[in-house]
Amino acid sequence: MAEFDFDVLVIGAGPGGYVAAIRAAQLGLKTACAESRETLGGTCLNVGCIPSKALLHASELYEEAHSGALAKFGVNVGKTTLDLDQMHAEKVKAVGELTGGIEFLFKKNKVEWLKGLASFTSANSVEVNGKTVTAKNIIIATGSSVAPLPGVEVDNEKAIVVDSTGALALPKVPDHLVVIGGGVIGLELGSVWRRLGAKVTVIEYLDQILPGMDKDVRKDGARIFKKQGFDIKTSTKVTGVSVKGKKATVTVEPAAGGDVTNIEADAVLVCIGRRPNTSGLNVEAAGLSTNDRGLIEVDHRMQTKVKSVWAIGDVTPGLMLAHRAEDEGIAVAENIAGQTGIVNHDIIPGVVYTHPEMAGVGKTEDELSAAGVAIKIGKFPFAGNSRAKANRDTEGFVKVISDANSDRVLGVHIISSLAGTLIAQAAQAMEFGATSEDIAYTCHAHPTHSEALKEAAMAVQGKPIHM
**Sign of the torsion angle spanned by Cα atoms 145, 248, 235, 399:** positive
CB-side neighbour CA atoms (13 Å) of 377: 15
Residues near 136 by Cβ (< 8 Å), separated by ≥ 6? Answer: 3, 4, 6, 7, 8, 124, 308
Q: How far apart are CA 289 and CA 342, in angstroms?
A: 24
Q: How far apart are CA 255 and CA 263, in angstroms?
A: 16
pLDDT of residue 107: 98
* 116 appears as a binding residue in the annotation: no
pLDDT of residue 1: 47
- What's the chain's length in residues? 467
Annotated catalytic residue, options 57, 413, 444, 446: 446
* Among 102, 136, 133, 103, residue whose Cα is nearest residue 118: 133
Using DSSP bridges, classify how beta strands 176-180 and 261-265 pair: parallel, antiparallel or unpaired: unpaired
* 127 appears as a binding residue in the annotation: no
* Among 393, 398, 383, residue whose Cα is nearest residue 453: 398
Is residue 444 annotated as a catalytic residue, yes or no?
no
* 143 appears as a binding residue in the annotation: yes
* 204 appears as a binding residue in the annotation: yes
Domains recognised in the chain with CATH numbers:
6-146+275-336 (3.50.50.60), 161-272 (3.50.50.60), 350-460 (3.30.390.30)
* 322 appears as a binding residue in the annotation: yes
Q: What is the pLDDT of residues 164-194, one digit of tens each?
A: 999 999 999 999 999 999 999 999 999 999 9
Q: What is the pLDDT of residues 83-114, one digit of tens each?
A: 999 999 999 999 999 999 999 999 999 999 99
pLDDT of residue 13: 98
* Among 104, 115, 112, 144, residue whose Cα is nearest residue 35: 115
pLDDT of residue 276: 98
* 321 appears as a binding residue in the annotation: yes
Q: What is the pLDDT of residues 443-461, one digit of tens each?
A: 999 999 999 999 999 999 9
Residues of the chain under the 50 pLDDT cut: 1
Contact (CB, 8 A) for 359 and 419: yes
DSSP states along 46-76: HHSHHHHHHHHHHHHHHHHHHTTGGGGGT--
* 327 appears as a binding residue in the annotation: no
pLDDT of residue 174: 98
**pTM confidence score:** 0.96
Contact (CB, 8 A) for 201 and 262: no
pLDDT of residue 15: 98
Residues near 258 by Cβ (< 8 Å), separated by ≥ 6? Answer: none
* Among 365, 160, 135, residue whose Cα is nearest residue 250: 160
